[in-house]
Amino acid sequence: MTHYINSTHTDIQTAYQSLILSASGWRKVFAQDLNEESTTGDIGAANEVLVILMADAFADYLEQVSTGGTIAVAMDTRPTGPRIAELFCKVLCGRGFTIEYPGICAAPEIMAYARTCRAFVYVSASHNPVGHNGVKFGLNDGGVLSAKEAATLIAIYKQKITQGGVGEHANELYTSCQPEQWNAIVASGPHNKKATVAAYDSFSREVLSGSTDPSLQETFFKEMRQAISRETDRGSPLSLVCDFNGSARTLSIDKEFFASLGLPFFSINDQPGHIVHRIVPEGESLTWCSNELERLRKEGPGDEERHVLFGYMPDCDGDRGNIVYWDEAQHKTGILEAQEVFALSVISELSFLAHSGITENLAIAVNDPTSLGIEAIARSFGAEVWRAEVGEANVVNLARELRSRGKTVRILGEGSNGGNITHPSAVRDPLNTMCALIKLMTIRDSGNTIGLFHRWCTLSGQENRYHEDFTFADVRASLPEFTTTSVFESYAQLHITTEDHAVLKSRFQDVFIREWNTDRARIRTDWGFAGWKAIAYNGTVASDCSDNFAKSAKGGLKILFTDTDDNPVGCIWMRGSGTEPVFRILADIQGNDRTREERLRSWLTSMVLEADKQI
């Protein structure tokens, strides 16, 4: 038994200083050796105290907001996960809660299951490097705590961690769970895991069909199977490949779920915890999946392998998966940008709503750095776009607010991160993303009913792009032309010294207005910008802050640029990360010229760094 009293107050406070607390998750490098790429499972005594008090704070919070039911505790496949999850289980058990511990679960899986529980704790650092870890908290609405709820929990935690005697208190909490209680929790793990898988499968069918009626669900999936079968009949059988990268999805429903649709499924790096490359599913991380897709296309012994069209790679908690595809025209693989993944999912789901006869009061909820191309897509379907500050909880809560006003919000998400959230789910899910792409490719013209891609081409004024034997390359080429910074590239993550981001943005305002006034001719020549306005994104609220950029505080700040006809044609955006010690920037501009985005991003970078250096 570890005696936490031996961890000094100084050590505990030092460990606490690097802990990031936000609605999106509580994260830090938990590996005891402080190496963010570490594979050790040891988190050290000081970090154990932090975790124990997290559990204690969540227990206090639950006693304030809910009664009855079990607490589900699950984790992704990071080496430090088992110890952190064990501490949560023991403290919550000692506080009198009934614990269900299924072990490794994908984030959408545990959140689907938690709809039948009192609350959940999910141990994960999402896309952060393997030595990081953290915690997501939620109740039984299928998502993480809202920003307001998270602020209450954070306040409870801060009060606990900063008081005297935290080591002794942590030791008391840890030993309050009796050995036989912990043994019983562990023994019930396999049963709990079967329950989470069953709940996730059932909920996924509800999400994808848009119905709680089992008969209507079966009708939808029958139509999907028939549509996929027709692709085989016309000589284009559809198969999938996944690079699991040792993630939590290795133990989830993916293979069986896609098999139920009649889709052959192949995978690599499918042993839980066998993380072989960078976790974030962006850029170079997708190379493994791309190479395997190409290998199957060229070396596969049969049609199933040689007709793999899509591949995906989830992050460690499995709540999103970005996409690679086979380009039939170029006879090689391609990698979709995160913004493209979301845009294609939106086209599919809005087309499917129209296909189902739903065309009124449509809305999409997105985060502030989602590309302006989404507005172009939405206009084609008569839908509105509403934006919230970065953070899944913010986008989910904005969607809920819109539904309370009578809007139909089928799809929402953070385009800058890729993947989508399909209602009634409240979390990103690669199953939903893959199924959106599959629908777009397989629900084709039939009788008097036009298919999803044909409908999109017609509504967007691109009828000339449609032909019966369209390929995915044709679908991708139909996207609105915008070039956007990937927020996960190193050049999009600045390291600044100004701690008060409102002060930084106020200085940035001075720099930006000087640049705009002195170099307006070049700005119009280079990028076509004739006007601008500043928008602050705080939680679910967007407001004009052209008079005072500091109003955006710690939230997102966007400068929206317009042409001579007042049409939005580009933007620059900034916000300090809530889960990593970096300041994120992004540029977004109409057209497919990467050099224009690079120049715009470079301009933004120079202005932010100048503002940061000011005294």
Complete domains list, the chain, with CATH: 4-196 (3.40.120.10), 210-222+236-336 (3.40.120.10), 348-480 (3.40.120.10), 490-613 (3.30.310)
Confidence of residue 237 (pLDDT cuts 50, 70, 90): confident
DSSP three-state, residue 408: strand
- From the list 211, 46, 277, 26, the residue with the least C-alpha distance to 136 is 26
How many CA atoms, within 13 angstroms, populate the side-chain half-sphere of residue 137? 26
% the chain with pLDDT above 70:
99
> Is pLDDT at 532 greater than 90 in this prediction?
yes
- Provide the pLDDT confidence category of residue 4 given band limits of 50, 70 and 90: low
| Residue 123 near residue 316, CB atoms below 8 Å | no
pTM: predicted TM-score of the whole model, two decimal places: 0.92
Q: What is residue 19's predicted lDDT score, i.e. its pLDDT?
A: 95
Q: How high is the mean pLDDT of the chain?
A: 94
Residue 59: C-alpha distances to residues 30, 120, 153, 184, 498 (Å) = 22, 11, 10, 20, 35
Residue 173 pLDDT > 60: yes
**Which residue(s) pair with 432 in the sheet?**
none
pLDDT at 5 over 70: no
On whether the CB atoms of residues 107 and 124 are closer than 8 A, the answer is: yes
Query: Coil, strand or helix: which one is 446?
Result: strand
Residue 1 has pLDDT above 50, yes or no: no
Per-residue pLDDT at 227 exceeds 80: yes
| Contact yes or no for 247/126 (Cβ under 8 A) | no
